[in-house]
Chains A and B, each alone.
Chain A
Amino acid sequence: MTDKVFRDPLYNYIAFDRKRDGWLIDLINCPEIQRLRRIHQLGVSNFTYPGADHTRFAHSLGVTHLMLLMLGHLERVSNAERIKNARQALLATALLHDVGHGPFSHLFEPCLGINHEQWSIAIIRDETTGVHRVLKNQGAYLPDHVADLINSENSSHPPWQRALMSSQLDVDRLDYLRRDSLFSGAGYGHFDWHRLLTTVQFDESETDLVWPAKTALAIEEYIFARYYMYQNVYLHKTTRGFEALLQAMWTRADVVRQEGGEIDANPALQRFWSVPMAAPGSLAVADYLRIEEFTVLEQIQRWTGHSDRGLADCARRFLNRDGFAMIEPPPPPNPLKVDDFGEWEPELHKLLTANGFQQPAMYCLADKVKGKYRQPYREEKEPENQSAVNTIRVVDGGKPVSIGQYLPRLKSVIAPPEDRVMYYVPKEIRTEATQLRDRLRKA
């Protein structure tokens, strides 16, 4: 019996053994997984990097491939029975970890008020979904085990199982960094992933994961790859601007809707907006899965002709890639209240109104990036609080030490950056807004 093979630009061949892992192929063929072919991995990053059109589906296959490799390695170098017992759950978790993503991945979560992790868990537990049926058919325990491993608050399973999937160095990150680098064409994101995969080992407690000291340079490369990718791709100012625009448009539609206006919603979104909360339990899984990128884009197309001027203008700007200008605000007067810029926003609103923008809140978009989202790697300082989940550790002289301690030169890269707030305003008022900012800086 031949393998089921996917061609992939990162790994060339991703092969699944039909005899041993035939169930995994059944899982891939489920509609919920196939839906991931229609979700962009990087939201609207393709507005900045035209090649960044890759999907959650390709990423999920890649993560599963890496999990297969890593489990194969651990099976060879440690207690094989333990690995075999967890193998199905971990492979399924790798394939299904993003199954709950909505349109444009993370980007759309604040618009719809959704949390993809909650939806992944709901889809896996819902008895009507294809993925639930395949998992249950394979083992009655599997849906719960997989859902538990995806649930970041759940601790029912050994730390090493969670760490493989979700930690400072996990198969998810190993795939997306290189994949996003390749498809964006940004050229960063190169590191010795194979060494990272094939040198991981259990620590003395046999419950957690560490790396040998000889892998330290590969880990350093990986941390730098994350640093470059965050600086150049994930937090690119153009992408962030379109993300803010999309959120502003959605917020405006919600305001119009709540004020009793007609927003001309298509059926999938109409259903979505008819429930009080966009969370599992309030909205049926089947209804959630009907919301796709094409649903959202079709809705935005409809709004280009809407009677609400702001909504129509934002929709048109989004589809035509007519973005806003980014401007750095003046420093907050009180460093303990970093979200409060004093007179800046009220003055900016006045400026917008004076320039004919009648809904200034829609044209004054604050983009807040928490420091942790700009930090390529952080580690827990106190050794006794460290684990694979919060710290990458290498074994030095028989004892695990954090990579930051082992390679002190990493200090400047892993130091916690501050939260960053940028504002996006129409290009028409960029000069005046800059003058206003400079005036407030001096005040």
Chain B
Amino acid sequence: MNRLQLATLISWAGESGLHGRKRLQKVVFFLQEAGCPLDCQYTLHHFGPYSRDVADACDELVSAELAEEVCGPVGGSGPYRYTLSSMAEDFLRQEPDPSLSAFEELGKQLINEDLWHLELGSTVLFYYRQTKDWDRALERACAFKKVSSTIEASQRALELAQRLQRNRRN
């Protein structure tokens, strides 16, 4: 994922910015699974799929003063929030990334999705890639996350994963 792509993604979050590095990780994971050309490598982490590429790209954008990072809200210990700097907004307006425009609507939906659904859903999808079996993927993901596979939240996460997989653009 390059700077332009990440800046585009952050811009989709609007003025309030993108809340949480975990959310960013899962949004990129899902977008990639939907066929978005972001090219990040993921491994399974305690909190679902995790990519160092995403974390690095985010830190690089902040370091280059193209994005602003705010730690908060409670005593500076809450999730980080990312907004674009005005310089980055200007450059993005001048030269937008056409390769991502087809994914804007999906990206916005994912950014506003419930974090737990993103977390569990991405884990389900991660296992689905290995097993090609939704029941087994849900079972393994729920065992990994130590939650029941029959509760509503788990089913919502499964639906999210399946929807993304169905709509994949190749």
- A→B interface (CB under 8 Å): 152-153, 155, 159, 334-339, 370-372, 378, 380-382, 384-385, 387, 389-390, 415-419
Chain A nearest Cβ from B48, distance in angstroms: 10
Query: Contacts A153-B42, A336-B66 given; 12 further ones with Cβ under 8 A?
Result: A152-B41, A159-B46, A334-B91, A335-B66, A337-B4, A371-B56, A382-B20, A389-B45, A390-B52, A415-B63, A416-B63, A419-B60
Tell me whether A336 and B60 are in contact in the complex, defined as CB-CB below 8 angstroms, given that A153-B42, A155-B43, A384-B22 are known contacts.
Answer: no
B64 within 8 Å of A (CB atoms): yes
**A389 and B52 alpha carbons, distance in the complex (Å):** 10
Q: Which residues of A contact B41 (CB under 8 A)?
A: 152-153
| Cross-chain contact A382 with B56 (CB below 8 angstroms) | no
Across-interface contacts of A152 in B (CB, < 8 A): 41, 43
Alpha-carbon distance between A430 and B29 when the two chains are bound, in angstroms = 44
Q: How far in angstroms is the closest Cβ of chain A from B93?
A: 11
Q: What residues of B have a CB within 8 angstroms of the CB of A380 in the complex? A: 21, 55
Closest to A372 in B: B56
- A381 lies within 8 A of B91 (CB): no
Contact of A335 among B3, B21, B25, B53 (CB under 8 A): B3
Q: Does B59 contact A (CB under 8 A)?
A: yes
Asked if B147 is an interface residue, CB under 8 A from chain A, the answer is: no
The count of residues in chain B whose C-beta lies closer than 8 Å to any C-beta of chain A is 34
Q: Give the residue name and chain of the A residue nearest to B47 (CB).
A: A385
* Interchain CB contact under 8 A, B80 and A335: no
Residues of B within 8 A of A384 (CB): 22, 46-47
Q: Are B80 and A381 in contact (CB under 8 A)?
A: yes
Contact A337 B63 (CB under 8 A): no
A418-B64 contact, Cβ under 8 Å, with A336-B88, A336-B95: yes
User: Which residues between 91 and 115 of chain B lie within 8 Å of chain A, taking CB atoms?
Assistant: 91-92, 94-95
- Within 8 Å CB of A385, what residues of B? 21-22, 25, 45-47, 50
Most A-side CB within 10 Å, residue of B2, B43, B44, B126: B43
Q: Which residues of B contact A416 (CB under 8 A)?
A: 56, 59-60, 63
Q: How distant is the Cα of A155 from the Cα of B129 in the complex, in angstroms? A: 12
Contact B4 A336 (CB under 8 A): yes
**Do residues B80 and A387 form an inter-chain contact, with CB atoms below 8 A?**
no
Contact, CB under 8 Å: B59 / A335: no
A residues less than 8 Å from B43 (CB atoms):
152-153, 155, 389
In the complex, the answer to whether A378 meets B21 with C-beta atoms within 8 Å is no
Listed residue (B3, B22, B59) with the most chain A CB atoms within 10 angstroms of its CB: B59
Nearest-CB residue, chain B, relative to A415: B63
Tell whether, in the assembled complex, residue B50 and residue A390 are in contact, meaning their CB atoms are under 8 Å apart.
yes
**Given A337-B95, A338-B3, is A418 in contact with B63 using a C-beta cutoff of 8 Å?**
yes
B79 contacts the other chain (CB 8 A): yes
Give me 6 A-to-B residue pairs in the complex whose CB atoms sit less than 8 angstroms apart, sorted by A's number. A152-B43, A335-B87, A337-B95, A371-B56, A372-B52, A390-B50
Q: Which residue of A lies closest to B5 (CB)?
A: A336
A390 (CB) vs chain B CBs: closest residue: B52
Is there contact, CB below 8 Å, between B45 and A387?
yes
Whether, in the assembled complex, B7 has its beta carbon less than 8 Å from a beta carbon of chain A, the answer is yes
Beyond A153-B42, A390-B50, whether A371 also contacts B60 by CB under 8 A is: yes
By CB atoms of chain A within 10 A, which of B3, B50, B87 has the most?
Answer: B3
Residues of B within 8 A of A339 (CB): 2
B69 CB to nearest A CB, Å:
9
Q: Give the chain B neighbours of A159 by CB distance below 8 A.
A: 46
> What's the nearest-Cβ distance from chain A to residue B142, in Å?
15
- CA–CA, A390 to B47, complex, Å? 13
Given contacts A336-B88, A419-B60, contact A382 B3 (CB under 8 A): no
Q: How far is the CA of A371 from the CA of B57 in the complex (A)?
A: 9
Instruction: Pick from A153, A338, A378, A415: contact of B2, CB below 8 A.
Output: A338
- Assess whether A390 is in contact with B66, with CB atoms less than 8 Å apart: no
Cα separation A334 to B46 with both chains bound (whole Å) = 37
CA distance A381 to B82 in the complex (A): 13
Q: How far is the CA of A155 from the CA of B100 in the complex (A)?
A: 30
